[in-house]
Chain A
């Protein structure tokens, strides 16, 4: 199935969790201070492991960056 992660289309298996997607996307970057939005709504860290994505879902994985 197809999902969109941070604006880029991704192919993923059924029953993929948010936790797995975050793990794939983060690459070598650090994990402290990460937030996830699924179709615009916050997914709490506790729920990452149980939240499964569906075809067409939009996922935003966000971290702290420099900003005024």
Chain B
């Protein structure tokens, strides 16, 4: 079935975007990335560690994944913009997962700073994939300033609570003409499938795979869940009914008494 997934003119082969945070080792991460089938993976930018063995860059190169740098840890538009520019320099990509956090307990985005940063970065030539609240109005504003994708959270980062407001995710999907990627909150495969059934174009997840007891197995589960959810969305679910609707006809029913 021809069903291309395109962000800012670039076609991706997988609708699962893998976050690389939280893995116990680079080896475990590599196995999980391979099992996920993802061809886009997020990375963060941090101070160099002279004693580091191996590099996430090499892992992603081996697995054929493109890098999507993030601005994790930034609390202001100014910091996020600087981090994005450093990431562009380090990774030779003008794609950025823009995160501007407003609260360190919930890691919820700061809408004002996010929108400001998005506009500046778009005008500077970045393809901005904006990690955002599950707010249809904010999503529309982010699209209006030129974001390449909007990425609403299902629930707070790493919480594993799944999609707390499916209605809002649906409204975001309905209103968007750029890809919508459910980002954050996925706990298990059914959450990823639900995101796709609600009409999201893709799912971005990290902790649910990297912190699972068996990361590579969960990665494979997520891959199937995203594919299944997408197919179900395209197939069209039946309406919910209060009462039963027999699937077997009563016509021709024998009288056996």
Contact = CB atoms under 8 A, between A and B. Distances in A.
A binds B: yes
Interface of A: 6-7, 25-30, 32-37, 40-42, 44-45, 60-68
Nearest to A27: B50
B157 interface: yes
A67 B48 contact: no
Given A25-B48, A30-B58, A40-B82, A67 B72 contact: yes
B29 interface: yes
B21 A68 contact: yes
B23 A68 contact: no
A63 B46 contact: yes
A53 to B, nearest CB: 16
B86 A67 contact: no
A46 B48 CA distance: 19
B47 A7 contact: yes
A29 B51 contact: yes
Contacts of B20: 66-68
Contacts, number: 113
Contacts of B157: 68
Interface of B: 19-23, 26, 29, 42-52, 54-58, 67, 69-70, 72, 82, 85-87, 89-91, 157-158, 184, 206-207
A27 B53 CA distance: 11
B52 A29 contact: yes
A66 B55 contact: no
A64 B29 contact: no
A19 to B, nearest CB: 14
Contact of B55 (A40, A63, A67): A63
Nearest to A43: B89
Contacts of B82: 37, 40-42
Contacts of B42: 67-68
Contacts of A32: 55, 57-58
B117 to A, nearest CB: 16
A30 B45 contact: no
B90 A35 contact: yes
A66 B50 contact: no
Given A26-B48, A67-B70, A35 B86 contact: yes
Contacts of A60: 47
